[in-house]
Amino acid sequence: MAYGIAVEETGGVDLYRFGRSKQVFRGPKPNLGAPYLTFIGGSETFGKFVLEPYPKLVERQLGTTCVNLGTPGAGPGFFLKDPVVLETCSRSTRCCVQVMDIAPLSNRMYEVYPRRNMRLRCVSGVLRSLYPQLEFSEFRYVSAMIRKLKEVDSNAYKVVLAEQRSAWLARMLELLQDIETAKTLLWIRQEGSKNLNQTVTQEMVDVLTPHVDNIVTVPVDVSGNVGRSMIVARKDTGWMTRTVHAEIASVILAELQAMQSQKRPA
């Protein structure tokens, strides 16, 4: 499995390197000589468990090249670190920006690696003072650390969560401002269980609204992945099945067609 890809369907997955950091993206490598759309986001956009993630499905139906720049575990800070990727997005006719997770992002509590945002680089003295009982050298990944923070002291974690959300909003706003083309904000919103904690709220998305041309929200029922398997499911995005990717593609296509119809003269 290349780059942590687990595809249960028959067939191979094309990968290619692109951008200043030579980051790995889903292929085949696109031809950028003609008009194209770009899609940026995390594991959901990358399509870890499927042969054809939703950008590829949109491309097939639309007949326009769709560049999938989704990266497993990426936060908004990942794309801000690569000017080549940002320029590629800005040169596209439209960029679809996924509402990414708040955890894989450096903030005043901890720092992540620029190219592997789920890898924990270091923690601050503030976080150590909030959790003096923890040995942070034991954590390699942000997700494992966050689960432990919630388990050990849920009240202290509220301080961490507030900082995560503040940093996320700042970086998302910066990212949207740096992408100089039409922008669609895509919120793949997990629903279906009282045990599911939404780290990104409607209020946070509302703050981003003035900075995009439109917002597409796709609710996804993840109730079948809760309970004992929820930690694994959230980490590996196992709930992003072929059906979910097809639904997302369908909603995006309908939105694009509606906007195109509005531009046509009466």
**Per-residue pLDDT tens digits for 123-180:** 999 999 999 999 999 999 999 999 999 999 999 999 999 999 999 999 999 999 999 9
pLDDT digits (tens, 9 = 90+) for 42-93: 999 999 888 899 999 999 999 999 999 999 999 999 999 889 999 999 999 9
Q: Using CA atoms in the order 192, 246, 55, 17, what is the torsion angle rounded to 10 degrees?
A: 80
pLDDT at residue 26 tops 50: yes
pLDDT at residue 5 tops 80: no
200-205, long-range: CB within 8 Å, 24+ apart, which pairs?
Answer: 200/99, 200/101, 200/102, 200/165, 200/168, 201/165, 204/165, 204/168, 204/169, 205/99
Would you mind telling me the total number of residues written for the chain in this entry? 266
SS (H, E, C) 171-229: HHHHHHHHCCCEEEEEEEEEECCCCCCCCCCHHHHHHHHHHCCEEEEEEEECHHHCHHH
CA 124 from chain centre, in angstroms, equals 25
Domains present along the chain, CATH in parentheses? 2-103+181-263 (3.40.50)
177-180, long-range: CB within 8 Å, 24+ apart, which pairs?
Answer: 177/211, 178/80, 178/86, 178/90, 179/86, 179/89, 179/90, 179/95, 179/97, 180/90
Order of strands across the sheet that contains 94-98: 65-68, 36-40, 94-98, 182-191, 214-221
What is the predicted pLDDT for the residue at 264? Answer: 60
From CA 121, how far away is CA 90, in angstroms rounded? 30
pTM above 0.95, yes or no: no
Q: Which helix (H) or strand (E) holds 246?
A: helix 242-263
Would you tell me the crossing angle of helices 142-152 and 154-178 to the nearest 10 degrees?
140
DSSP string spanning 8-61? -SSS---EEEETTTTEEEESSPP-TTS-EEEEE-SHHHHTTT-SS-HHHHHHHH
